[in-house]
A = this chain, B = another copy of it.
Amino acid sequence: MPTFVQILDFIGTFAFAISGIRLASAKRFDWFGAYVVGFVTAIGGGTLRDLLLDVTPGWMTDPIYLICTGLALLWVILFGKYLIHLNNTFFIFDTIGLALFTVVGVGKSLALGFPFWVAIIMGSMTGAAGGVLRDVFINEIPLIFRKEIYAMACVVGGLAYWLCALVGLDDVVCQVVCGVVVFLTRILAVKYQICLPVLSGNEH
């Protein structure tokens, strides 16, 4: 039987894959292209992290991520036209995915002996870099650089993890706090439309 974390991981992967597949479908990609974009959205952040940490990417050791992306593609093919009514549901799933992926990224980096400031970057990358790769593939300016609190929520969650560890709290407590902080930061930022300031542009 899958553990609680595995179920959350599955939900996160599914939500991230859906987000990639939907944006690919808006660009009229074929099924294969949509599958690849969905897969990269789901596993891209973790893969970049694992390349930097010099370990084998998780998806190369367990086909669950491939299967999960396949189910997401099937879902969009079958229920695509109803998805528009589920935007709020997917927003919640996507934010759960963001929170969980951040926790996994921070935890994995610490377990490999990296300092906390590296772990926070790796956690944020795990959560947010897949979406950056997705946007590069569909030839758009990455969304997370322009809009909303997104990767910033991962950084805040990572800092919360650090604080808890400094105080001497148990690993599991640190991870739960980190995930909850990421989740709440994003939810509250969107609800109250909290944005980071924009740099006033002047051409290079």
- A residues contacting B by CB (< 8 A) are 19, 21-34, 36-37, 47, 51-52, 54, 56-57, 60, 63, 66, 76-77, 80-81, 83-84, 114, 117-118, 132, 136-142, 144-147, 151-152, 195-204
Task: List, in ascending order, chain B residues with CB within 8 A of A145's CB.
Answer: 24, 27, 29-30, 32-34, 36-37, 137
**A132: shortest Cβ distance to chain B, in Å?**
7
Of the candidates B26, B30, B199, the one whose C-beta lies within 8 Å of that of A25 is B199
Write the chain B residue with the least CB distance to A138.
Answer: B141
Given A29-B198, A33-B142, A84-B202; 13 other pairs, CB 8 A cutoff? A25-B202, A26-B203, A26-B204, A30-B199, A33-B145, A52-B57, A52-B60, A54-B54, A60-B114, A80-B200, A81-B200, A132-B137, A136-B136
Min Cβ gap A107→B in Å is 17
Tell me the nearest residue of chain B to A22, going by C-beta.
B204
A26–B37 Cα distance when bound, in Å, is 26
Min Cβ gap A146→B in Å is 6
Protomer copies: 3
Residues of B within 8 A of A30 (CB): 145-147, 195-199
Q: Is there an interface contact between A77 and B151, defined as CB atoms closer than 8 Å?
A: no
Cα distance A115–B51 in the bound complex, in angstroms: 19
Question: Which single residue of chain B is at the shortest CB-CB distance from A63?
Answer: B117
List of 5 A-B pairs having minimum Cβ-Cβ separation, nearest first: A33-B145, A25-B199, A30-B196, A26-B201, A139-B141
Task: Indicate if the CB atoms of B146 and A33 lie closer than 8 Å.
Answer: yes
Given the known A-B contacts A142-B137, A146-B33, are A25 and B201 also in contact in the complex, defined by CB atoms under 8 Å? Answer: yes
A195 to B32, CA, bound (A): 10
A52 touches B52 (CB 8 A): no
Q: What is the bound-complex CA distance between A139 and B136, given in angstroms?
A: 8
CA distance A137 to B131 in the complex (A): 12
- Closest chain-B Cβ to A54's Cβ sits at a distance in Å of 7
| Bound form: Cα–Cα A196–B147 in Å | 34
